Amino acid sequence: MARTLVSRRLEMDCLKGHYDDDNWSSVIEFIVAIQEDPQDVLAFLVQKCSMNALKTSYPAMARRTKLLWLIYKCLCAGAAITKAFRSEVLRQLFDAQIEMNRIYRTGGVAPVAVLQKDGVRHPLFVSNRRDTLMQALQPYRMLGNEMILSPFRPYAEYVLGRVAEVDRLEIEEQFKSALKLCLVIPLASVEPSEVERHVQMIIQATPTNHPLQKVLAESMEALNVHYLPSATRIRS
């Protein structure tokens, strides 16, 4: 179907009608992969996934997070775009996650990414749980798992180049730590040593009796056993 749509130049019509339909995600991904210049398609998706105007609407954030997941998959599929435009897309992926953290925080929630053998999970520090919370977390977990299972080095390098910006946010330290973990933990399969460095810094900055220490220890164990080069050599 994707080839037919591209050959007839109907891909944008398809996109506008089905961009938020899960059943069309693979078709859109394939359209981007086979197009000579998929910039218009990706630019449309980037526009639709903006989180800037959202306040505390978890269902709306869930829909936009699914688009972030689709955009990431399109990049991994080898979208033929310029480096300049790729940087714009990477910026949106990063900035959207900063905004997601703001929305969660405003709603009284702090998700924390915890590394596992083949993905991530997101335990919560919650002061106000709403019924729609899990609806928003499911696509967030999809995104993190996609980054683990389909690593994209340019994205990892971009995140590592900007993660220090979190320290300049005017939020509590525990929220900064949670946000940093959500950004860097999904990079473990491509930059495990950098992930280890960031996790160790958070461990050192976190009080020993803080509940965050337990999930930090879990991530460190997964890094050492499954991701770090030394663990890889042992397994081989």
Contact 163, 156 (CB under 8 A): no
Closest CA to 78 of 145, 32, 45: 32
- pLDDT (0 to 100) of residue 10: 57
**Residues with Cβ < 8 Å from 112, sequence gap 6 or more?**
122, 123, 124, 125, 178, 181, 182, 212, 215
Q: Where do the structural domains in the chain lie, given as residue ranges? A: 2-191
For residue 232, pLDDT over 50 is answered with no
- How confident is the model at residue 5, as a pLDDT? 59
Asked whether 189 and 182 are in contact (CB, 8 A), the reply is no
- Band (pLDDT 50/70/90 cuts) for residue 162 is very high
| Residue of 155 and 211 predicted with greater confidence | 155
For residue range 173-201, list pLDDT tens digits in order: 888 999 999 999 999 999 999 999 999 99
Token pair of 193, please?
């040593």
Where helices occur in 77-228 by DSSP H, the ranges are 83-106, 133-149, 153-162, 173-184, 192-205, 212-222
Contact between 112 and 182 under an 8 Å Cβ cutoff? The reply is yes
Which of residues 132 and 205 earns the better pLDDT score?
A: 205
Per-residue pLDDT of 100-115, as tens digits, reads 888 888 877 888 999 9
Pairing of strands 114-116, 119-121: antiparallel
- The length of the chain is 236
pLDDT average, residue stretch 36-51: 83
* Comparison of pLDDT for 26 and 169, the residue scoring more: 169
For residue 44, how many other CB atoms are within 10 A of its CB? 17
Mean pLDDT to the nearest integer, 88-109: 88
pLDDT at 234: 36
Parallel/antiparallel/unpaired status of strands 109-111 and 114-116: unpaired
Q: pTM for the full model?
A: 0.87
